[in-house]
Amino acid sequence: MSDEDWARGVPGTWLDGLLTEWRDLDVTALQERLAQVRHLRADIDGRGVHVVIAEGRGPDPLPLLLCNGWPSSFLEYLEVLPLLTDPGAHGGDPADAFTVVAPALPGFGLSDPPPPGGSGQAQTAQLWHDLMSSGLGHRRYVAHGSDLGAGVVMQLARAHPDAVAGIHLATPGLPLAAKPWTEAEADYARAVESWTAAEGSYAHQHATKPNTVAAALQDSPAGLAAWIAEKIVAWSPQTNAGDTTFPRDLLLATPTLYWATGSIGSSMLPYWNYMHGGRVMPDPEQRPAVPTAVTNFGGERLPLPPAPRDLAERYVEVSDWREYESGGHFPAACEPQLFAETLRSVFRPARTVATPS
């Protein structure tokens, strides 16, 4: 699978193979796998939210919120859940156990759609705090976010520093601050501009005319699979054989979830909201005193520009900074062991200050 093959988007022969596998997908096996985890339907201020909860097995499991982005879903966390909840059974320390809460973003999968204009990061962050605190009774907790979820988690820490004991951001796309810039920030600005021109057409479509593209994608399984799979392949590392490290069964299950729930259009609304008044620029003068770990997972076939530490420190209290050459944009799926070990490590300090649930 060469870059030349993908230069104009999804290669036809590759897509034909994916569609053949999708037609033969063992849906019963997928349903049985989903039945192995606990699902809840939460009503938060009249909005239905789908939540996966996995209880920790250890002396004092730490509540952990996981917040994904696009085109992601809770499905990406299924492989890593046992590593997070029961580390003692997977070569780790039982004291590092988490109780995991993985809600689906409004309009994603089995969660209700947001209002027509979408929910902003601050509004979604408030939903997640209400879920964790008044809904599930966790007075102190930690949170991880990637992609769109990283922005939500940053807002969560900013709005509720007394409840959030720490956050972890995976390869976050951070907004540029006011000049003057450091050399690293200037390099990042140029990289973002170049990447957006070459690879950002999907985001512009989501932010400007989501209903138009959604009508086409929800009418065509091939179109939906191409729209989702092209990004997953682009943002995942490749194997030595040239295939993606994103698991094949998950690559089939992800469009299945979007297709069955009709949620591809509503999953685009965060982009619309961000462009049309929902963008919240963090104030560098009001950084939340919440320890923030940042991990730039690398290795994508088409890397997204990683934000430099200089820029991150304008917005958050950086407590841990890591850079890996693997994991890509979907580290929980592509490198579950590395992802789990990273969260165990960066959140150990939070266990000494977090109030028991």
- Going by C-beta distance under 8 Å and a sequence separation of 6 or more, which residues neighbour residue 122? 155, 159, 280
Answer whether 263's CB lies under 8 Å from 210's CB.
no
Answer whether 159's CB lies under 8 Å from 129's CB.
yes
- CA proximity to 105, closest of 276, 267, 286, 221: 267
| Residue of 129, 141, 144, 147 marked catalytic | 147
Q: Is 329 a catalytic residue?
A: yes
- Going by C-beta distance under 8 Å and a sequence separation of 6 or more, which residues neighbour residue 169? 144, 145, 146, 150, 153, 154, 292, 293, 294, 295, 312, 316
| DSSP-derived pairing of the beta strands 47-54 and 98-103 | antiparallel
Q: Is 204 a catalytic residue?
A: no
**What distance in Å separates the CA atoms of residue 333 and residue 337, rounded to the nearest whole number?**
9
**Residue 313 to residues 184, 250, 318: CA-CA distances in angstroms?**
12, 35, 6
**What distance in Å separates the CA atoms of residue 76 and residue 68, rounded to the nearest whole number?**
9
DSSP state of 175: P
Q: Is 310 a catalytic residue?
A: no
| Residue of 77, 271, 274, 315 marked catalytic | 271
**What distance in Å separates the CA atoms of residue 352 and residue 86, rounded to the nearest whole number?**
19
Catalytic sites, residue numbers: 147, 271, 329
